[in-house]
Amino acid sequence: MAMSSIKGNMLRSVLTMLIIAFGIMAIVGTLTAVEALKGSLNESFSSLGTNTFNIRNRANTMGFGRRGKTVVYRTITYTEARNFEREYKYPARISITTNCSGNAVIKFQEEKTNPNTLVIGGNENYLANTGLKMDKGRNFTGNELTSGNAVCIIGNEIADKLFGKLKIDPIGSSISIEDKKYKVVGVLLKAGSSMGFNPDRWVIIPLTNARIEFVSEYSSYSLNVAVDDVTKLDAAIDEATGVMRNVRNLRVQDENNFQISRSDSFAQKLDDQLVYLRIFAILVGVITLLGASIGLMNIMLVSVTERTHEIGIRKALGAKAGDVLQQFLIEAIAICQFGGLFGILLGVLAGNIISLLFKSHFAVPWGWVIGSYFICLMVGILAGYFPARKASRLDPIESLRYE
């Protein structure tokens, strides 16, 4: 009888279902996109490993107002970086790097890249510490690193841009980096872009060569340290702090003029920021569902008024108050469940379409999918109980002569 009543008022029932569906879609859709984005971030940063940390120059601080004080922290020099490498006795793998150019143009014959290529000088441990993999070719040899040979490892996008149309093997070819000739010895495996980092547009050259061709006395160096056991990471960071303070000749009362960050700290900060997006999605969904529940209650009250004569006939034929209450309650719950299931489907679909724009993976927030189902059940019960109770309490005699 409940399902027959829903079919008898199909337009009204469908409109109510859609209101509920959009509320559920707002919750599930946004949370699906958040889960997909979170999965993409975790995958991107997992390549760095959870057992690494970086040491770099501390960012300068700007002061404002009368008492504002601008603090400029001096760069980490090559000598300091090498001294740290020698004095750091904790079991770890250390790479020293420096940025040579952030807007370089790479050329091969008539082909050239856009001026958005990052040129990095690194040592033999750079690829291992950053989790970058080789697609073809090899890493730098010890002799190339020591002698500062003009060799390089290029990103996958650069290889496609310069050699894709020509169908030439990049390995062994000579390219120009800001009019300086370099021999390609390796091509990185395609990594993709994530939060502004895109190794596919990187060119890595030996650190010694970078010091000769690109860097100046004002250039800053950074260190990446990888320990063999993640449980030892905190101890390794404490040891590194002490060694770096000694290398930088800091006194006991001096604050650190360098900063140490774990490889997973950035991903953790981003995940913390996603909490606000989740809260926003839940608030939007709750507000929409509140409006839907009010609309459902209003429609059910109208339905009770319109079907007063019908209720009188059923009670006259022997229906009890509990039977009438059950029928109207089932109608409200059924409308909510159908709308909720449709909303869950739309939410998962919409969320994954958004995730595709970020080149993330397919995701389904099962916890919220199941939670949304029970939310719809509660909305149906709460919005349908008062109209159902009103219908069950109608006097059969008064109901029969209502019309």
Q: Does 162 lie in the same domain as 103?
A: yes
Q: Does 301 lie in the same domain as 204?
A: no
pTM of the model: 0.59
Residue with tokens 């029932």: 13
Q: What percent of the chain has pLDDT over 70?
A: 87
Last-in-domain residue among 263, 283, 305 = 263
Q: Does 249 lie in the same domain as 366?
A: no
Q: Does 70 lie in the same domain as 176?
A: yes
Per-residue pLDDT tens digits for 33-82: 777 776 666 555 555 556 788 888 877 555 545 555 666 788 899 999 99
Q: Does 107 lie in the same domain as 67?
A: yes
CA-based nearest residue to 147, from 212, 77, 82: 212
Radius of gyration (C-alpha) of the chain in whole angstroms: 33
Q: Between 224 and 380, whose confidence is greater?
A: 224
The number of distinct structural domains making up the chain is 2
Q: What is the pLDDT of residue 120?
A: 93
**In whole angstroms, how far apart are CA 359 and each of 157, 161, 217, 353?**
16, 21, 40, 10
Q: Does 315 lie in the same domain as 255?
A: no
What value does the mean pLDDT take over residues 110-115? 89
Q: Does 131 lie in the same domain as 279?
A: no
Q: Does 370 lie in the same domain as 274?
A: yes
Residue with tokens 């093997």: 169
Per-residue pLDDT tens digits for 186-229: 999 887 765 557 888 999 999 999 999 888 777 889 999 988 77
Last-in-domain residue among 241, 263, 285 = 263
Domain ranges, residue 131? 52-263
Q: Does 65 lie in the same domain as 23?
A: no
Is residue 358 pLDDT above 70, yes or no?
no
Dihedral of alpha carbons 132, 117, 55, 78, sign: positive
Quickly state the pLDDT bin for 239 (edges 50, 70, 90): very high
173 DSSP 8-state letter: -
Quickly state the pLDDT bin for 359 (edges 50, 70, 90): low
Per-residue pLDDT tens digits for 163-193: 988 888 999 999 999 889 999 999 998 877 6
Q: Does 245 lie in the same domain as 164?
A: yes
Q: Between 138 and 102, whose confidence is greater?
A: 138
Give me the torsion for CA of 46, 50, 55, 56, rounded to 10°.
20
Residue with tokens 């209101």: 19
Q: What is the pLDDT of residue 291?
A: 78
Per-residue pLDDT tens digits for 314-343: 888 888 888 888 888 888 888 888 888 888
Last-in-domain residue among 263, 284, 301 = 263
Is residue 102 pLDDT above 80, yes or no?
yes
Q: Does 330 lie in the same domain as 186?
A: no
Q: What is the pLDDT of residue 271?
A: 63
